[in-house]
Structure 1
Amino acid sequence: MKTLRIQLNEIKHARKVRRLEHILTKRKGISEVSVSTSGIVQLKWDVDQTSQDEIIKSIQEVGYAIQKVKGTPEDVKTDDDHQMSSRLLFLGENTELYFAVISGIFWLLGLIISFIPQIADLVATILFIVGALFGGFFTFITAGKDVLRGKFEIDFLMLFAAVGAALLEKWGEAALLLFLFSLGHALEHYAMNRARKSIAALSKLAPPVALLKHEGTLTEVPIEQLKIGDIIVVKPNSKIAADGVVIEGTSPVDQASITGESMPVDKRPCPDWQDKTIDALLPEYRVFAGTINGSGVLEIKVLKHAKDSTLSRLITLVKEAETQKSPTQHLTDKFEKYYVPLVLVLVILLMFAFLVLDETFQQSFYRAMSVLIAASPCALAISTPSAVLAGIARAARQGVLIKGGRPLEDLGGLKAIAFDKTGTLTQGRPMLTSVIPFGAVQKTHLLKTAVAVEALSDHPLAAAIVDGGTKELNDVPIPKAINLKALTARGVQAEVDGTTVHIGNRRLFEEWTGEKVPQEINEKMAALESRGQTAMIVGQNKRYLGIIAVMDVARKEARATLATLKDMGIKRMVMLTGDHQKVADAIADDLGITDPMGSLLPEDKVHAIEALKKQLGNVAMVGDGVNDAPAMAKSTVGIAMGAAGSDVALETADIALMADKLDNLPFVIGLSRKAKQIIQQNLTISLGMVAILVPLTIIGSIAIGPAVVGHEGSTLLVVLNALRLLKYEV
């Protein structure tokens, strides 16, 4: 089996999505077809039973132009059928809406004139016929294509009902049916288009050209021509053209379009940019295509081609996400599969009701047409896809990528969330946390001595001491150290101002002094270590100066985020880490983690997730998407932190938080719950309307007119209800 991804021209209606899915699924050798209204087709096909060319031909025969096929760089020619359809939209993309309005005007005029006795009935009939022609124009084209393929979809059924009403000389009702059906079609397209435009807006974020710097001169080139390693210049208040690393200049950059961050992020040159990949860069050095530069001029080394930029990947993944159906969508699809044939059988039986009831064929036929309209599942079909599309669009605007309807629904039902510790709940890098002088030693002297020695070391803990110590010392002069020696499993030794300085653990100082570490220092070190800090002793010429400690500290937003999640009803918050259990316990106490699990290997994290799922049901795993990938795959919903710039994180997760912040977690869980609520409301509206209209039309209490109003009204109502997700706020 192979997977194929095809980009079509936009599909205007969800019912056409179902039609294309149905056609492709029936083709030999094709399975697991998913189609989105934005025109993304994803399918699996058996190379022994069909070919890519045959699949493309099948799609073109239906009337869709193929823009791109994944794996082939060239575009595929559009077919004559699509070109003909495009020419029909001679008044722009809202042609169908204009036709519906014209249809409504003629129907209304006909209705008014029918109440004026002085004017012949023929005038009203002509107006109704003209209204029906405008209202049925696009319905006739769609239904005609369906019939030629041997399919009888909802457009055909509505057209059939309208023709039936006309044959019974109910011209007013026929015109009303086609007017409201075409209006519902057009408004559904318009409303759904609003959600799609939120996603399509992403495509317009990247500038078309960039300023390429070469041998001191600037040249304007299309972004597609940029190569990895090129240097581009970004002027103030202009868009950044490529993913890369800042090598010159400082400036705040608005990254809201990619990460959803509300405040600009200060960017500065990376000191060792020559050897860096974009995944390894700190946020202050890394920039993304489509973000907006602030007041300074930046020089950027390009690290990704335009087609591989974070923005391009985000656009592609969001469009693909639209094709992934939610559990509710699968359920409604199965329901429709059996429901529609039952409706057709019922309608046929009702057409022959005159054989057993005291009524004419015309009366039986009229009742059957009314039932056909009332029972059509248009609102049911659109209720879930519209909510999923709006939810995905709203999340994308916040800097959150949700890969389809399943994670969107599943997230709202979480019972527990498991977090990786390093880089998720914590900063992911050590920081200087404690400086404790011993005896009469001044804190400044302790810090100066430690920074001088550690400045010679390339150890990650040394960098934390130098950075933190330098900031705390401010402008205090730091002496120069020489002759650094690494002492395996103990610490380091160097010379400062003619004295010998040691920094390390208890073993180092016991060997150096030949005596036990003083009890006061030992107790203070033990207290620091019990809180998860890595403590080191600093000594000079066999004199104890004091203790310095470093730790991977919690993110500043972590505590508040976990408290918010607890308020939202998520009672079990689990931390999975390879660190010692003491460290895990200390961080858990600080943040409010309910279940700290330390000393875990990667496979232990997988087992922990499996156990939580058995115990609680739905469990999410939050990590960085790289070393946490196995555990994320086992969870109900895998959530990647800081996915911007990381292809691995984007590919691994069900949900990707583009910014390296936990803040968006409560937002996306709240959005999921709101989406589930709206889907349930939509199902109630759609099924409730059918449950009311069908019995009333069967017993003849309402005619075609009210049935049409109820049918089209419920369809439009569920779409508008779904669009409320676009305005969702925590």
Structure 2
Amino acid sequence: MEEHKHTKAEHNHNHFLGKNTELYFSIASGLFLGLGFALSYLLTKTEWVALTCYIFAYFFGGYFITIEAYKKISKGGFDIDFLMIAAAIGAAYIGSWAEGALLLFLFSLGHALEHYAMNKAKKSIEALSDLSPKIALVKKGNQLIETPIESLQIGDTIVIKPNTKIAADGVIITGNSSINQAPITGESMPVDKTAIASLDKLPDFKHIDKKHIAFTGTINGDSTIEVHVLKLSQDSTVARLIKMVSEVETQKSPTQRLTKKFEKWYVPIVLIVVILLCFAYLIIDENFNESLYRAITVLVAASPCALAISTPSAVLSGIARAAQKGVLIKGGKTLEDLGSITTIAFDKTGTLTEGKPKLTNVIALNNFEENEFLQIVLEVESLSNHPLAKAIAKDIKKLHNLSFKGIAKNIEAIQGKGITAAYNNAKVLIGNLKLMQDEGITVKDTVTSRMDSLLQNGHTVMLVALKNEVIGIISVMDTPRQTAKSTLKRLKAIGIKRMIMLTGDHQNVGDAIAKQIGLTEAKGNLLPEDKVTAIKNLLATDGKIAMVGDGVNDAPAMALSTVSVAMGAAGSDVALETADVALMSDKIENLPFVIGLSRASKRIIKENIFISLGVVAILVPVTILGLTNIGVAVLFHEGSTVAVVLNALRLLVYKKHL
């Protein structure tokens, strides 16, 4: 069997019969087969009763297979379905109705299970299309107008009532709420969202703070919110996901491509061998019926049904399981490649770190009271628009429970050095050593050595002076994600040998972060082209490499890597387009799960190929030599087909490294 691409007519045909009809037909075939077996023993003198049961078993077991085979033959192709129909007809011709019915029952069961596995896998992803509500409430003046989501325009304001689905990708402009983003990002906990302060100078969708963003298909909490639409329905994150998932199937894995090539020449060889075996009676001492029986038994034994479905069923199950956790894996090749990775390169900012500066040290000097020192810093920094000043002011308020009183004034920024301001009519300076020296302020050796120590550890350090005297030191740093250290530890535990940070930051910053979170090494001062060179070098030494970044700044390096993994891809068109693996949430802790899943998929693919080829390798010579009958051949051969599908379905419940 292969990945069956159903035509529209076939889809309508199956829809008319019902989506699980194939499985029901297979079960009906099994029931008639069992009834036939029982009646052949109980009613030995009325063989036609058992034969009638077998004929019904043939009908139900062969119905869908015959349709598949006919389609292939009409296009000039002979595949495994054709081999099975030929074997069943041959079995009936030589009077082995029970064996033929058993063959069709088990083969149709394998077929039905394969389609069930495929459909379950596809549906668990394509269920995304059901996420989007069909109608949105558009606010026009004081009116709320029900509008189909296809008719929404960029700039519309939609009202989202409590506990309803969000109808478009956009930015929240009114109200605060807790939103369940699990359908898109896989996050288990609802995420607090707040309205954006203003729509003036709105950055592009990717760069708006995620706490203001609402995604199509996510579920609003207990508060009413209003959303300014920023994407049309066909461009929404959900729509892009569905499109990419439908493309996933066309990207076959290396193993799939290999098995396809194998089947292409293997099936005609089997047909030639079977035809030749029909004439074995001309050479060896047996009659035509015995030669035909042997040929049909070989036909059953040699059909590589299990091989054909071993890889696609595992690939689709793996991709579906990843999607349940908010991870998009683009095709079988990526799934297999990721499983063999032992080296990972990480971007720093926003991947291993929070991506925003945090206040890390507050050191009051000369017995200056800490709270008074912090109040001075808060008053001055609150007047500045510099990102570091904003971060310092925000953290002082949050960590030290201080509030802005508006005491400072006359702030002045000195390019590349810092700021000055008046605080209670006294001059305050906050900046680097050069600022202090230019203003004629003496900085003691003990202070500069403390500064150097912090600089060596990757901090950005500022001195604070009041009335021409240094009164303290403050430092900020892009701090590691809380989960980074534990994630890297888990990656190491599952066999990732090298974990390298590639950053444009100073080498000291890279080294400091690397030391804190347990990276193997860090490479700093890298421009985008330097990152590309670093990836080339790693590919040359390590063979395969994964690159983890945000999919935007690191696009060239990620494109070069064996597998590129984009963080926080929800809402990012570039990340979804360029990355092989997209972590929809901003959670690096999903990485060990994805790598573990791909390894499990790879292992299951290998197990499936071993089972399928192993059974064929044993059965073919045994049946050619006439050492077994058709019933045993059917049982082992079709049993292996059912076994590989059930083995692949295990991936849908994969839970390790969560």
> If the TM-score is normalised by the length of the shorter chain, which range does it land in?
over 0.9
Residue number in structure 1 paired with 2:217: 290
- Please point out which of 322, 347, 350 is paired with 1:423: 350
Residues 635-674 of structure 1: pairs in structure 2 closer than 5 A: 635-674=561-600
CA 1:534–1:475: 2 relative to 1, 3 Å: closer
Q: Does structure 2 conserve the Cα–Cα contact (< 8 Å) formed by 1:202 and 1:315?
A: yes
Alpha-carbon shift at residue 90 of structure 1 (Å)? 4.2
CA–CA distance in structure 2, aligned partners of residues 625 and 87 of structure 1? 43
1:573 aligns with 2:561: no
1:303 aligns with 2:291: no
Residue number in structure 1 paired with 2:284: 357
- Please point out which of 269, 274, 280 is paired with 2:195: 269
357-366 or 336-345: which moved more? 336-345
Residue number in structure 1 paired with 2:314: 387
CA 1:144–1:228: 2 relative to 1, 3 Å: same
AA aligned opposite 1:142: E
The unaligned stretches of length 5 or more in structure 1 are: 1-12, 18-38, 40-63, 66-81
Map Cα deviations across residues 647-689 of structure 1 (whole Å, 9 max, x no partner).
0011111111111121001111111111111111111111111
Residue number in structure 2 paired with 1:582: 508
The unaligned stretches of length 5 or more in structure 2 are: none
CA 1:601–1:177: 2 relative to 1, 3 Å: same
Alpha-carbon shift at residue 476 of structure 1 (Å)? 4.0
Alpha-carbon shift at residue 117 of structure 1 (Å)? 5.3
Residue number in structure 2 paired with 1:185: 111
1:332 aligns with 2:320: no
Q: Does structure 2 conserve the Cα–Cα contact (< 8 Å) formed by 1:437 and 1:546?
A: yes
CA–CA distance in structure 2, aligned partners of residues 560 and 403 of structure 1? 27
- Please point out which of 122, 128, 132 is paired with 1:196: 122
Alpha-carbon shift at residue 374 of structure 1 (Å)? 0.9
Q: Does structure 1 conserve the Cα–Cα contact (< 8 Å) formed by 2:186 and 2:325?
A: yes
Aligned residue pair count: 655
CA–CA distance in structure 2, aligned partners of residues 280 and 674 of structure 1? 35
Alpha-carbon shift at residue 324 of structure 1 (Å)? 1.1
CA–CA distance in structure 2, aligned partners of residues 421 and 646 of structure 1? 18
Residue number in structure 1 paired with 2:626: 700
Q: Secondary structure at the match of 1:553?
A: strand
CA–CA distance in structure 2, aligned partners of residues 194 and 694 of structure 1? 33
Q: Secondary structure at the match of 1:237?
A: coil
Q: Does structure 2 conserve the Cα–Cα contact (< 8 Å) formed by 1:448 and 1:479?
A: no
CA–CA distance in structure 2, aligned partners of residues 401 and 15 of structure 1? 21
CA 1:478–1:719: 2 relative to 1, 3 Å: same
Residue number in structure 2 paired with 1:453: 380
CA–CA distance in structure 1, aligned partners of residues 211 and 398 of structure 2? 18
CA 1:279–1:89: 2 relative to 1, 3 Å: closer
Q: Does structure 2 conserve the Cα–Cα contact (< 8 Å) formed by 1:486 and 1:493?
A: yes
Q: Does structure 1 conserve the Cα–Cα contact (< 8 Å) formed by 2:409 and 2:422?
A: yes
AA aligned opposite 2:364: P
Residues 43-122 of structure 1: pairs in structure 2 closer than 5 A: 64-65=7-8, 82=9, 86-87=12-13, 90-116=16-42, 119-122=45-48
Map Cα deviations across residues 213-248 of structure 1 (whole Å, 9 max, x no partner).
221222222222221111112122221111111212
Structure 1 runs of 4+ aligned residues shifted over 6 Å read none
Q: Secondary structure at the match of 1:261?
A: coil
Map Cα deviations across residues 549-602 of structure 1 (whole Å, 9 max, x no partner).
111111111111111111112121111111111111111111111111111111
Q: Does structure 1 conserve the Cα–Cα contact (< 8 Å) formed by 2:185 and 2:570?
A: yes
Residue number in structure 1 paired with 2:69: 143
Q: Secondary structure at the match of 2:195?
A: coil
Map Cα deviations across residues 275-324 of structure 1 (whole Å, 9 max, x no partner).
23321122211121111112222211111111111111112212212221
Q: Secondary structure at the match of 1:663?
A: helix
CA–CA distance in structure 1, aligned partners of residues 286 and 453 of structure 2? 94
CA 1:413–1:102: 2 relative to 1, 3 Å: closer
CA–CA distance in structure 1, aligned partners of residues 556 and 185 of structure 2? 25
Q: Secondary structure at the match of 1:163?
A: helix
CA–CA distance in structure 2, aligned partners of residues 591 and 112 of structure 1? 67
CA–CA distance in structure 2, aligned partners of residues 118 and 550 of structure 1? 91
CA–CA distance in structure 2, aligned partners of residues 144 and 569 of structure 1? 48
CA–CA distance in structure 1, aligned partners of residues 545 and 36 of structure 2? 60
Normalising by structure 1, we get a TM-score of 0.86
- Please point out which of 401, 421, 437 is paired with 1:494: 421
Map Cα deviations across residues 351-377 of structure 1 (whole Å, 9 max, x no partner).
111110101111111111111111111
CA–CA distance in structure 2, aligned partners of residues 550 and 126 of structure 1? 84
- Please point out which of 419, 431, 439 is paired with 1:512: 439
For the aligned residue pairs, the C-alpha RMSD in angstroms reads 1.9
1:16 aligns with 2:4: yes
Q: Does structure 2 conserve the Cα–Cα contact (< 8 Å) formed by 1:622 and 1:641?
A: yes
Q: Secondary structure at the match of 1:428?
A: strand
CA 1:414–1:191: 2 relative to 1, 3 Å: closer
Identity of aligned residues (%): 56
338-347 or 624-633: which moved more? 338-347
Residue number in structure 2 paired with 1:597: 523
Alpha-carbon shift at residue 147 of structure 1 (Å)? 2.8
Residue number in structure 2 paired with 1:6: none
Residue number in structure 1 paired with 2:641: 715
Normalising by structure 2, we get a TM-score of 0.96
Q: Does structure 2 conserve the Cα–Cα contact (< 8 Å) formed by 1:89 and 1:95?
A: no
CA 1:466–1:272: 2 relative to 1, 3 Å: farther
Alpha-carbon shift at residue 699 of structure 1 (Å)? 1.8
AA aligned opposite 1:187: L
1:630 aligns with 2:556: yes
Where relative contact order (Cα < 8 A, 6+ residues apart) is larger, the structure is 2
AA aligned opposite 1:106: F
Q: Secondary structure at the match of 1:547?
A: strand
AA aligned opposite 1:16: H
Map Cα deviations across residues 356-403 of structure 1 (whole Å, 9 max, x no partner).
010111111111111111111110010011111000000011011111
